[in-house]
Amino acid sequence: MRRWLYLVVGLFVFSTEAGQLPLTASEISLMLRTGYSSNSLIKELAGRRFVDVLDEAKETTLVNAGASPELIAALKSGAYSLSADKTAAVLKQMAALGQSRADEAELARKSEARYQAQIARERSAGQVPQVNATTGAIPDLLKNDLVQYRNGIVHIDDGALANKKLIAVYFSAHWCGPCRKFTPQLVEYYNRVAPQHPEFEIVFYSEDRSAADFETYMRDTNMPWLAIDFPKLKGKQGLTKEAGPGIPSLVLFDSSGNLISSSYADSKYRGPQQVLADIDAIFAGKLPGRLAATPDVLVIDSIFAGKPPARVAAAR
């Protein structure tokens, strides 16, 4: 039910925004922070125009977000501004769109609350399978359900996770500002680390509200990793057990589903950067703090290059 509702809402927003409304200073700032270059934004302005007043405070915000002197000069020049009449009409349209978004967000929030209550009931009744070493490996759990963005969503061969020993599940969404800020950092990390460690993979678990948003997010951030196909997410709630209540969240498993590291620990948000630090520690042949302090945790082969499997026992 939730996915159906999000699809309807997403299609409505997509169709409303298809006309590409002019940009505001805050939207330009957000686009800069999520990876757009100043040159690409100047090209965007040529088609979409600028409907705002660039005062000193907004200029400072844009500069801090990475705006080049050329972009600032272009905004100040008025070359991309609309006439007063068109500005008034666009602002009225944007206000109506903002109210529509607020209504949709409230509808989605209520639907999400009902959905989470349903999941909680199912979990308490044992109806939602949990991922762990006894219920099946993650590659088996995600068999037939993996996709990747390659100039569009394409399905990936079932063997994509067959030789992966460390699998980080990334819980994120296009509508989430902190997610859009962190995702470019994760892309940089993955592109730097993954070629050196073929035993490592990231899988995107989308919290987006529609399949269109899911694809847009992967495209705009150049996600190089795998993703769970959007229509297949409903059957994968077992992966969310360690994800915590907020996003962005990164959860590191071994291939059998044993938890190694999470953005949340004891209900406290550590952030995805901590998980990346734990991954770096593993690649350096060290145990993350969580494992070093936990008795009887299985450390899988290939986490430590050339070392045999071992059980880590903390001092008792």
Domain boundaries, the chain: 23-81, 138-312
Give me the pLDDT at residue 84, please: 79
Q: Confidence band (pLDDT; 50, 70, 90) for 288?
A: low
Give me the pLDDT at residue 157, please: 81
Q: Confidence band (pLDDT; 50, 70, 90) for 18?
A: very low
Question: Beta-strand (E) ranges in 92-223?
Answer: 146-149, 153-155, 166-172, 200-206
Q: 138-312 in CATH: which number?
A: 3.40.30.10
Residue 173 buriedness (CB in 10 A; 0-12 / 13-18 / 19+): middle
Q: Cis peptide leading into 248, omega within 30 of 0?
A: yes
CA distance 83 to 108: 36
CA distance 274 to 268: 12
Q: With contact defined as beta carbons under 8 Å apart, do 194 and 201 qualify?
A: yes
Higher confidence at residue 63 or residue 92? Answer: 63
Give me the pLDDT at residue 300, please: 37
Higher confidence at residue 285 or residue 55? Answer: 55
